[in-house]
Structure 1
Amino acid sequence: MPGSQNLLHAVARIDQTPFEIDILNLTHDGRGVGRRADGSANADKTVFVSGALPGERVVAQQTARQRSFDEARTLTVLRASADRVTPRCAHFGTCGGCALQHLDEAQQIHAKQRVLLENLERIGHVVPGRVLAPLTDAAWGYRRKGRLSVRRVEKKDKTLVGFREQDPRFVADLSECHTVIPQIGGKIAALAALIDGLDARRDIPQIEFIAGDDTVALVFRNLVPLGEGDRARLVDFAQAHSFAVFLQPGGIDSVHALWPEHPRLAFRMPAWDIELQFRPLDFIQVNAGLNQGMIASALELLDAQPDDRVLDLFCGLGNFTLPLARGVRAVVGVEGEAGLVQRARGNAAHNGVANAEFHAADLAQDLRSQAWMREGFERLLLDPPRSGADAVLRQLPLKGLKRIVYVSCHPASLARDAGYLVNERGWKLRAAGVMDMFPHTAHVESIAMFEPG
């Protein structure tokens, strides 16, 4: 096959001879950046080096070749940065779940702040009036939601359970994970042994986990119906380790409880006397402690008054909506996924919140037919996905709004949308800062506050 021949030819061209390189900077995904100066054919070419930090000199080995840059991995650190620390996890460098365990925690958040500010200036051509102090919480054992890949490796007669490796074609062979909650992170080897003992071990490609305050749930994606023996083994495991177990034989709607019959998933936000109930595949913020700090920060920046009406876009289960409702006249939450809207309404009723209403709408589409678009609001809060809020911001009647607070999981889309608000709509970016929702990873979560010009 011509395509396969071309691929083999490209791989053959990679020179795997180790080389020395000075690291000058850090990329947005946590790799070191340098230029080769060794007289080779690749001299002066930009190289992205995993496992290397600014100020270091390392011995690296090329792993991929592109027209304008090369990729490499660190073999030996010849001159270490003062910010280098020993990674806690033995799997760091192979597992793709983390990118920054070798960097001091305080420097990780500073690096993320630099990414945010550089994106705002380069993409949005905006500079915040004030840089907020970074928002942080526990750096280990924080991840309460995630997806573990499963792969049966016949050559090793072994079942692997873990995150994807840095090369995403492979599943990392994990024995533990220090970033996920301990109830999961310390039981990965036990999960691998469990699946290896199932008749259907070749037909379970993933396990999703999610944790409430009192219950940790596992969702096993089963590509074939499970026999009674396998179901009994899963129930025994759940009972032994205090898990709730769900099966997912098809799409999201196929998820159902195996044991116990009616698991209860919920987490509390005591500062607002709110409890959010959710289903095992729902989106919740992965870092419980940081989430509560983020809500408090967002509400402080929004500065909503008791007589205000607030619009909360991309509201999900009501993570911001219901705490907001405790202090204002009314809140309208809008979310694209109908199931989340239904559960947000249920959460409002569960918490006795009568001044919050929820609507389902695709916020990337034409919204002119939506009645809530024509209602007056004093404050706007947005928490969009990685794609940002460009489409809805261009449709919203912004006149009359006193403040906008934008919670972002992707600095580039925030920068683009900030540029629109500031440079096309005349708003001012009063404050922006980062939140370390995912310590030891390169994910940059941030928050920004705008006021009319």
Structure 2
Amino acid sequence: MSDPTATHLPPEPQHPLPPGWLEVTSMDMDAQGVARKSDGKVVFIDGALPTELVSANTHRKKNNWEQASLTEIHRESSLRVRPGCPHFGLHAGACGGCKMQHLDAGAQVAMKQRVLEDNLWHLAKVKAETILRPIEGPAWGYRYRARLSVRYVPKKGTVLVGFHERKSRYIADMQTCKILPPHVDAMLMPLRALIAGMQARDTCPQIELACGDAVTALVLRHLEPLSDADKDRLRAFAAEHGVQWWLQPKGPDTVHLLDEGGEQLAYGLPDFGITMPFKPTDFTQVNPHINRVLVTRALRLLDAREDERVIDWFCGLGNFTLPIATRSREVLGVEGSEALVARSRENYQKNQAQRQAGKALAATNFVARNLFEMTPEVLIADGAADKWLVDPPREGAFALSKALADIHQARLGAAEAPPLPAGHERWQPPRRIVYVSCNPATLARDAGLLVHQAGYRCAAAGVVNMFPHTAHVESMAVFERAA
């Protein structure tokens, strides 16, 4: 739940409003309209948009804020649009997968840009010198990764497949989903019929979707062994709908193909001549259209040269590492997961083997390391790099930023700084850092360290609309060594 102390508070209404009316002046990070009552208390209103005059039903009260749901609009925002999905809304059973379909797509991006700028300033007192143009793509049919819940409901005599209802543990009765690729959207009802006809319909709680450029993979989680008859039903479905079934009897390590063979799941980065094979449970970006643009912009901002060494922190499968290797002299990819490091090495070798003569990838090494326990000693042991690419999970890159700050502070002679490790004399911090973030709050926290304690300036920042119609804010920031 949003905390008004962490939100840019709305001004008090300039004119008296009729009793019970509220003037919505902004949106919070959960895509709720924000208003202020006559007594000064902040109200967060599901379904309300900025500039609207509304009535709302309060269902949660605290000392300095309330949470409410929209009941009536007295003055509608010019940015309100008709939702593209029949399952979106505040009604009972509404799907909780999207929060912003009622807001114009361009306004969604503007709101996310404001969230990024507000977080940088209010949490870190950092202001980007340049605001990057937002990265945008298709607003519908973009979600190539999804985890769909499955449940057989005996009372209704049906199987539900989809996302959860708003603020509920129940699965929405979805017959369509417009953010999924059209061919997957068309599969929702056939998937329901498939599971309903299986002997294991009571013990299949989840289907995970992973679309590559040419292959659509479905991972079926099943709590009991599947019968031969059920496997045959899956094969018949695969043949009819052109999908590849994977089975997951236990944890993620147990995921395997129903039948060996077939084309490999992969996506391409054509600007760099890179193809990235992956397994359906590997982390890849949800939106491949945006990912291609994101990687291209990150590499342009990084501006890696043929005589430079670059480190890609939180490198995953090598989504940024391999493109960097097409531009630089040497690359180090660092990732916390041994399995992902092994996969990145395989991807590097496959792409290296496919390169044309004279177009070889730069020398690239991958190592597994817990990046949430980074220290100045480990950082210096990894060697100096001209530039960094940082792409952490939601937790951010605090330990990495702190290690960099500690080294800088120690060199300045700060009394509280830890002693510098041996060999620090030959180590230099990167001249430029491109930081890709999926959480503006942790980006702001780390930006505060980099700017105020590590000797950097925030040269640029902007949003990446990876998840249209949701309140999720993906962003990118560039940090340069201060002169």
TM-score over 0.5 (shorter chain): yes
SS of 1:91's partner is coil
Instruction: Tell me, yes or no, if structure 1 residue 278 matches structure 2 residue 278.
Output: yes
Bigger CA drift: 107-116 or 70-79? 70-79
Matching residue's letter, 1:110:
A
SS of 1:351's partner is helix
SS of 1:150's partner is strand
CA displacement at 1:168 relative to structure 2: 3.1
Instruction: Tell me, yes or no, if structure 1 residue 402 matches structure 2 residue 431.
Output: yes
Question: What is aligned with 2:24?
Answer: 23
CA displacement at 1:36 relative to structure 2: 3.7
Question: What is aligned with 2:341?
Answer: 341
Aligned with 1:419 (options 425, 435, 448): 448
- Pair 1:216–1:304, CA change in 2 (3 A): same
Matching residue's letter, 2:462:
G
Decide whether the 8 Å contact of 1:52 with 1:58 is kept in 2.
yes
Question: 1:56-78: CA deviations, max 9, x gaps?
Answer: 12232234344432222223322
Residues in 2 aligned to 1:363 and 1:182: alpha-carbon distance in whole angstroms: 38
Aligned with 1:388 (options 391, 396, 411): 396
Question: What is aligned with 2:304?
Answer: 304
Decide whether the 8 Å contact of 2:327 with 2:362 is kept in 1.
no
Residues in 1 aligned to 2:20 and 2:163: alpha-carbon distance in whole angstroms: 30
CA displacement at 1:374 relative to structure 2: 3.5
Decide whether the 8 Å contact of 1:149 with 1:205 is kept in 2.
yes
- Pair 1:72–1:152, CA change in 2 (3 A): farther
CA displacement at 1:364 relative to structure 2: 0.5
Question: What is aligned with 1:48?
Answer: 44
- Pair 1:49–1:83, CA change in 2 (3 A): same
Instruction: Give me the TM-score of the superposition, normalised by structure 2.
Output: 0.86
Residues in 1 aligned to 2:185 and 2:465: alpha-carbon distance in whole angstroms: 20
SS of 2:96's partner is coil
Residues in 1 aligned to 2:76 and 2:464: alpha-carbon distance in whole angstroms: 27
Decide whether the 8 Å contact of 1:124 with 1:416 is kept in 2.
yes
Question: What is aligned with 2:387?
Answer: 379
- Pair 1:286–1:70, CA change in 2 (3 A): same
CA displacement at 1:371 relative to structure 2: 8.2
Question: What is aligned with 1:75?
Answer: 71
Which residues of structure 1 form unaligned runs of 5+? 1-17, 38-42
- Pair 1:373–1:393, CA change in 2 (3 A): farther
Question: What is aligned with 1:365?
Answer: 373
CA displacement at 1:44 relative to structure 2: 4.5
Question: What is aligned with 1:202?
Answer: 202
Question: 1:103-126: CA deviations, max 9, x gaps?
Answer: 111110000000000000011111
- Pair 1:368–1:24, CA change in 2 (3 A): closer
Decide whether the 8 Å contact of 2:217 with 2:244 is kept in 1.
yes
Residues in 1 aligned to 2:229 and 2:64: alpha-carbon distance in whole angstroms: 55
Question: What is aligned with 1:294?
Answer: 294
Bigger CA drift: 293-302 or 68-77? 68-77
Question: What is aligned with 1:434?
Answer: 463
CA displacement at 1:354 relative to structure 2: 5.2
Alignment of 1:181-330 (within 5 A): 181-259=181-259, 261-330=261-330
Alignment of 1:74-223 (within 5 A): 74-93=70-89, 94-223=94-223
Which residues of structure 2 form unaligned runs of 5+? 1-18, 353-360, 409-427
SS of 2:81's partner is coil
- Pair 1:76–1:198, CA change in 2 (3 A): farther
Give the percent of matched residue pairs that are identical in Structure 1 and Structure 2: 45
Question: 1:369-423: CA deviations, max 9, x gaps?
Answer: 7588431210011000000001122224673411011000000000000000001
SS of 2:403's partner is coil
Matching residue's letter, 2:96:
G
CA displacement at 1:46 relative to structure 2: 2.2
Residues in 2 aligned to 1:249 and 1:417: alpha-carbon distance in whole angstroms: 39
- Pair 1:368–1:252, CA change in 2 (3 A): farther
Q: How many residues align?
A: 431
Residues in 1 aligned to 2:64 and 2:196: alpha-carbon distance in whole angstroms: 44
Matching residue's letter, 2:332:
V
Matching residue's letter, 2:53:
R
CA displacement at 1:306 relative to structure 2: 1.1
- Pair 1:402–1:21, CA change in 2 (3 A): same
Residues in 2 aligned to 1:273 and 1:301: alpha-carbon distance in whole angstroms: 19
CA displacement at 1:366 relative to structure 2: 4.2
Residues in 2 aligned to 1:414 and 1:214: alpha-carbon distance in whole angstroms: 34
Matching residue's letter, 1:282:
D
Matching residue's letter, 1:325:
A
Question: What is aligned with 1:4?
Answer: none
Bigger CA drift: 174-183 or 153-162? 153-162
- Pair 1:19–1:248, CA change in 2 (3 A): farther
Decide whether the 8 Å contact of 1:244 with 1:260 is kept in 2.
no
Residues in 2 aligned to 1:368 and 1:123: alpha-carbon distance in whole angstroms: 25
SS of 2:106's partner is helix
Residues in 1 aligned to 2:59 and 2:151: alpha-carbon distance in whole angstroms: 24
Instruction: Give me the TM-score of the superposition, normalised by structure 1.
Output: 0.91
